[in-house]
Chain A
Amino acid sequence: MSNAFLSFESEPGRLVVKVRGQWVFDEVLALEHATASVEPEPGQFVSFQCAGLEKIDIAGAWVLYDRTEQLAVEGIESEFTGFKAAHFKFLQHIIDAAAIRDYEEPPEHPVRPQRVRKAVESLGSHSAAVIEDLGEIARSVLEGMRSPSLYMVGETIKQVYQTGVQAIPVVMVITFLIGIVTVHQAASQLEKFGATVLVVDLVSISITREMGVLLAAIMVAGRSGSAFAAALGVMKLNEEVDAMRVMGLNPYQMLVIPRILGLVIALPILTIFADIAGIAGGALIAIGTMGISSLQFIERVAYSTDLTNFYIGLIKAPVFALLIAAVGTLRGMQVRSSAEELGLKTTMAVVQSIFMIIVADALFATLFTRMGI
């Protein structure tokens, strides 16, 4: 009985195993099969004769050593003979490493009660950290507002440009399209009542009151909420935030305030553009395909949309902006260690800010209805 790597000679009292061939990484699977067939009879010890070995590396040496360990567990002794020095040093590595491993205590794996305790503890410390961060942000924002620096003003203007001005085209395009969709959908229903002209009221009210600001906010949450979280997260990983701290600069003031302020300024501006584009989209279809004259359209818009609707939409914008910027920057600041975490926090920033925007919008709708406006 023999194979490509081993051949056997059974003698009284010992099993001679001749080791040969290439004992290397690529052959590990075959080597494991080969060594598994080393099965001495009762009363035999195993003598590995290694003179025929052509090549060996750590993986190969480990397979050989591992078999002797298994045999030792069964109470069978084994020996190595005929090793070339150039080959034996690989085995020596394994013997050294195994000695360290045996000397070490095996690592403790936490049992279930500990896991539960750990989970609760980490949840608690996590919540505490969030509250602490929020507190620090709020405090430094208030402090920073009292004595704004020139740097912050410049940064704020940059943020208004990046989050607001640069977003104008995309926001206008999507609200324009939503205006078109709204008119199409409404017209097919209103036609049945012979009230086609009311699509104008419908589109102008829904865009100015709800859709304009909501679409702009959701777009900004995707564009800028994620950008805030990612930028601040990378700055934390690069120790830039720590560098600011040791220079005596408050990173919340330097990084968070300009972003919040910038977005609070930018989102209302975006909302106005969104409203204009949405109504324009509605006008295109109403005037172009439904036989409503442009004069009639303008008149209906002016009649139905008193400025209250417009203001109601506009007043929500700074609140949404605050939510997006606060969630984005907070999540960014929570990145502590790894690239993985950065991705996770960025995702959280976007999802949570959109979620909060919609919750806030629902609250506003209830509030305004109760107030009768």
Chain B
Amino acid sequence: METIISIKNLVNRFGNQVVHDGLCLDIRRDEILGLVGGSGSGKSVLMRSILGLQKPTSGTITVLGQRIEYHKPGPSRCWGVLFQGGALLSGLTVQQNVELPIALYSDMPLETRHELASLKLLMTGLSLSVADKYPSELSGGMRKRVSLARALALEPKILFLDEPTAGLDPIAATEFDQLIKYLHDNLDLTIMMITHDVDSLFGICDRIAVLVDGGVVVGTQDEVLDSDHPWIRDYFGVPRAQRARGAMIRPAYE
């Protein structure tokens, strides 16, 4: 299968603390990769390194064949990012937030831009009545949807999601999972998501990558569950993970 993102021998060190120690990971086309790990295991650092927001101590990262360098423009046309808090620009309305990348990367007339942005909002399950509101007037769940609409504005090939369901109630979280799955299936997206939500991990992820000991254990759900690494056994051994897994055997996502 084609590799979209390739991480080779990534090392990230802060003072004496080694976060990544020769980490290698390939992300394949059209998969949903769930990234888990304990606090401080470097999930966010990994994502930020891939996005060129963090300068790795050493190692190379290639996205769609392009080498990522710190604070240099990456393939920003080809990726969309959903930050944890949404990271919407607070001075712009919802509509303007989604229109902004379209306006920056195309010469479409205003009306077309407007229509396309509305379309993305509708696709992420938002009502157009929110279009003229400011981010501060929205609930956390809605902000995430707007942020997702913005991430999708330029028809990206890769989507990065940082804890997409964190802070959402179970109903909203399940809906959001389904939305991600739906968009993945219909827009030919490759998705990498950081998540601690075991339901979305088992529900929608094709492969799971676990950050342990500065490296990564990656595989399908069954492969990762069979791992005999103590942290991974603990992680998937806790009751809530067991329940989520049980729910998967009786399929909850249809």
Contacts and interface: CB of A to CB of B under 8 A. Distances in A.
Task: Name the residue among A24, A97, A341 with the largest chain B CB count within 10 angstroms.
Answer: A97
A25 B90 contact: no
A105 B108 CA distance: 27
B64 to A, nearest CB: 16
B106 interface: yes
Contacts of A66: 115
Interface residues of B, number: 29
Contacts of B91: 338-340
B129 A340 contact: no
Contact of A94 (B109, B119, B135, B136): B119
B128 A101 contact: yes
Main secondary structure of the interface of A (DSSP, over half): helix
Interface string B126-147: 0111011011110000000000
A174 interface: no
A89 interface: yes
Nearest to A92: B186
A25 B134 contact: no
Task: Name the residue among B106, B107, B132 with the largest chain A CB count within 10 angstroms.
Answer: B106
A98 B136 CA distance: 27
A32 B136 contact: no
A337 B185 CA distance: 36
B127 A59 contact: no
Nearest to A60: B155
A97 B132 contact: no
Task: Name the residue among B118, B127, B137 with the largest chain A CB count within 10 angstroms.
Answer: B127
A59 B123 contact: no
Interface in B160-191: 185-187
A6 to B, nearest CB: 18
Contact of A25 (B109, B135, B154): B154
A365 B181 CA distance: 72
A62 interface: yes
Given A24-B155, A25-B154, A93 B131 contact: no
B122 interface: yes
Interface residues of A, number: 31
A57 B155 contact: yes
Contacts of A106: 128
A180 B155 CA distance: 64
A29 interface: yes
Nearest to B125: A100
B227 interface: no
B112 A337 contact: no
A25 B128 contact: no
Contacts of A28: 106, 108, 112, 116
Nearest to A99: B122
Contacts of B136: 336-338
A107 B132 contact: yes
Contacts of B187: 57-58, 90, 93
B34 to A, nearest CB: 24
B122 A339 contact: no
Contact of A58 (B131, B135, B155): B155
Given A107-B129, A338-B135, A25 B106 contact: yes
Nearest to B188: A86
Contacts of B186: 89-90, 92-93
28 contacts: A25-B106, A25-B155, A28-B106, A28-B108, A29-B108, A29-B112, A32-B112, A57-B187, A59-B116, A62-B116, A66-B115, A89-B185, A89-B186, A93-B187, A94-B119, A98-B122, A101-B118, A104-B127, A104-B128, A104-B129, A107-B132, A336-B136, A337-B90, A338-B134, A338-B135, A340-B90, A340-B91, A341-B90
Given A26-B106, A57-B187, 15 more contacts: A25-B154, A25-B155, A29-B106, A62-B119, A93-B186, A97-B122, A100-B122, A104-B129, A106-B128, A336-B136, A338-B90, A338-B135, A339-B90, A339-B91, A340-B90
